[in-house]
Structure 1
Amino acid sequence: MKHLFILIILLFSRAEAQTSAFSIADSLYTIGNYSKAINEYSKVGGLSSALQIARSYNAIGNYEKAIKQYQYVVDEDVVNQLAQLELGKLLLKMNRFEEAKSVFTNLTDVNTDNPEFQFYLGEANRNLNLSEESLEQYKKAISLDSTNLRSLFQLAKYYTIKRERDNALKYIIMGLNFYENDVSLINLHALVLFNDSQFEKAIPLFEKVIELGKDKDYVYEKLGISYNKNWEFNKAKEAYAVLLKRDDTNSQTYFDLASVYQKESKLDSAKIFINKAMAVQKPIFVNGYSQLAYIAREQKDFKTAFKFFERAHLEDNSDARVYYNLATTYDQFSTDLQKKLNYYENFLKHYPNEHPFYYETARKRISELKEEIHFTKE
């Protein structure tokens, strides 16, 4: 009895010492002193310490050692879902998607009712470019928890990119009903409406995205276009002014700003910004020359328009629309019937598979010109 009593005291003392050592390690871990915490956990031993060591390595960025520790815990305790979840998330972070998929497949097999496991399996499949499988997992996550915001976002994003308006809006609205100020979902909502040419409805959403702190360049770009399409020219100019303040070498911003002035019939200002766009544009000027040509044609200055279309064609002779405009503009001011005919015939020769309207107009005009030339000779 005496020996048994001593043994119990020794065991109790050892357990108490381990508890005390574990508490010390935990306190070091809590305040972020991870290296010392690892040393203390190592002294204690056991699976709980091994899990904490894995977390400590993860926290300090030593991911390979963290993965080895997590794997040790998972191998020793196959029912430890928390260790598997943390391991799978770390594997995703390290772009080890096949391994992550294996972990989350196991978790979803064991626990089919956990929406987080379904979501992360969806993430692994998405990164493996398995779109159908990832969509299935996100939908399963939502069926288990309709407020699973990350799954809702991934579905909404996928259908927005695919231009599937109704599906995108379905998941966007579901998410916003749960959290009305989710900036990512509001942004997707704005993009869906923008892509659907519903510019007036998209404007307040883009404005809210900026108000919520996501003032990315593309938001101002699409907001500027939306203002322009909605005839709110001053607001469009303000949006483009923000972009130019951030980057005054972006030719597209100047072109977009020029289109605002052109729509206002302020053609001299439009030309100024087109020239600025061309001054910073690299390496091709087709867009700039074409826009200057359109403005000149609008001003009934067909010779100048023709010269700009010629320059655009020299920059890129693969653009059929440029050459078509070259032919029709020459037709508007020249009296040289044969040269007019040559332009239209060259168009059909070099661009035989273009838009039916271009083809039919050119073909009809060739017939008319040949008749005019014939009667002139007569």
Structure 2
Amino acid sequence: MKYYLWLFYMVMSCSILAQNTKAKADNFYSNGKFSKAIETYKSLEDLDNVYDDIAKAYIAIGNYEKALDFYQKAVEANKENLLIQYEYAKLLVRSKKYAEANELFSSLIKMDSVNPNYYYELGLVLEKQRDTLAIEQFNKTFNLDDTHQKAIFKIAKQHLIKRNFKEAHGFIDKGLENYENNVELISLKAQTYYHQEFYTHAVVWFNKLLDLGEKSEFIHEKLSLSYAQNSDYQDAIYHRKQALKYNPYDANAMYIIGNYYEKIKDYEQAENYIKQALFIKDQSLTEEYQTLGTILNRQKKYAEAIKAFKKSLKEDPSNMMSEFFLLRTKDEYYGDLDSKIALYEQFIEKHKKSYFKAFAEKRLKELKDEKFLEKK
């Protein structure tokens, strides 16, 4: 009898100790001491019930690989726990493991076919996979929960893209019935009116975004264009200037403001803004793009460097240095010897008097020698 009492007390003591350790780890987690929480969770003898806690702590410190490992263990240890599988699937998406996430969300749907969020999350995965069936999942979400704001936004946006304006308004209005200050839906409402060319209505809805504290270059730009369509040039100028604050060297915006000033016969301001626009457009960015290309080359980001040098040449086609740098970058990036040889031959033929011709001829000889040795 004494033995059984002793055994009972031992079991109870271990259980209490485990509970205390778990509570201590939870406290560390709650107070943002995530590494301490991980260490404490791992000190428990039975980790089956804390694998997901460890995974969440790893997410908190940005170690997604470790988090994935522990979520996988949590799923294996708690096969009936759909919440853990759901969190694991979302982390797979976050980690861009879309095929695995797709499989897991599809499995969750089979186990619980009336959970709207499973369909919504699967829709997001299909979007990432560029699968046109994503919209079907958002529609299924809406059919299960017609107040699902995120699904409503996705469906309404798709209708807007397809220029199904009536349907877009229908879904937007349905969403706003339940959440009248949903800025995403309000923005979509404004854009729908804008694309319908109902500019007076568009102005009302874009201004609602401003009233809700939403400010952006896009909102002010669209407001400006909408006011201008209604010949409200003072308001159009104001909002275009607000948009210009986000991109002070936007020559196109300055030119448009100049045109608006011309409409209200303020020719002095019109001249000022159009001159600024012309001045900015006249500035070449060839050196800036050349410098960017050089920096990218030093990081061996050859594909991006090639794009930068091409932009440099577009700004100034006579920039010989950028053209030579482009040639050398292609030399580093391309693997085919014949392609490289052809590039150098074309450069030498085109620039017979160039300072860089001697460098090009030397490199061409090296490539031809390399090709000869390769054949042998």
Name the residue aligned to 1:67.
68
User: CA offsets, 1:337-372, max 9 Å, x none?
Assistant: xxxxxxxxxxxxxxxxxxxxxxxxxxxxxxxxxxxx
Question: Could you tell me how far 1:268 is from its partner in structure 2?
Answer: 6.4
Equivalent runs, 1:37-186 vs 2, <5 Å = 37-44=37-44, 45-131=46-132, 133-186=133-186
2:264 aligned partner, one-letter code? E
Contact 1:91 1:97 in 2 (8 A): yes
User: CA offsets, 1:55-102, max 9 Å, x none?
Assistant: 111111110000000011112222211111111111111222111111
How much is the aligned-residue C-alpha RMSD, in angstroms? 1.9
Aligned: 1:196 with 2:196: yes
Equivalent runs, 1:1-378 vs 2, <5 Å = 1-44=1-44, 45-131=46-132, 133-264=133-264, 269-281=269-281
Question: Could you tell me how far 1:144 is from its partner in structure 2?
Answer: 1.1
Partners of 2:188 and 2:282 lie apart in 1 by 31
Q: Which runs of 5+ in 1 are unaligned?
A: 285-378
User: CA offsets, 1:292-319, max 9 Å, x none?
Assistant: xxxxxxxxxxxxxxxxxxxxxxxxxxxx
2:32 aligned partner, one-letter code? G
Instruction: Tell me which structure has the larger Cα radius of gyration.
Output: 1
Question: Could you tell me how far 1:267 is from its partner in structure 2?
Answer: 5.8
Question: Could you tell me how far 1:283 is from its partner in structure 2?
Answer: 7.7
Corresponding residue SS for 1:47? coil
Q: State the TM-score, normalizing by the size of structure 1.
A: 0.71
1:147 aligned partner, one-letter code? T
Partners of 1:79 and 1:91 lie apart in 2 by 19
Question: Could you tell me how far 1:149 is from its partner in structure 2?
Answer: 0.8
Partners of 1:145 and 1:79 lie apart in 2 by 24
Name the residue aligned to 2:321.
none
Q: State the TM-score, normalizing by the size of structure 2.
A: 0.71
1:16 aligned partner, one-letter code? I
Change over 3 Å in CA distance of 1:79–1:283 after alignment to 2: farther
Query: Aligned pair count?
Result: 283
1:82 aligned partner, one-letter code? L
Corresponding residue SS for 2:110? helix
Question: Could you tell me how far 1:34 is from its partner in structure 2?
Answer: 1.1
1:113 aligned partner, one-letter code? V
Q: Which runs of 5+ in 2 are unaligned?
A: 285-376
Partners of 1:125 and 1:254 lie apart in 2 by 41
Partners of 1:269 and 1:11 lie apart in 2 by 86
Contact 2:157 2:188 in 1 (8 A): yes
Corresponding residue SS for 2:248? coil
Identity %: 30
User: CA offsets, 1:25-60, max 9 Å, x none?
Assistant: 111111111111111111213321111111111111
Change over 3 Å in CA distance of 1:6–1:248 after alignment to 2: closer
Partners of 2:16 and 2:250 lie apart in 1 by 68
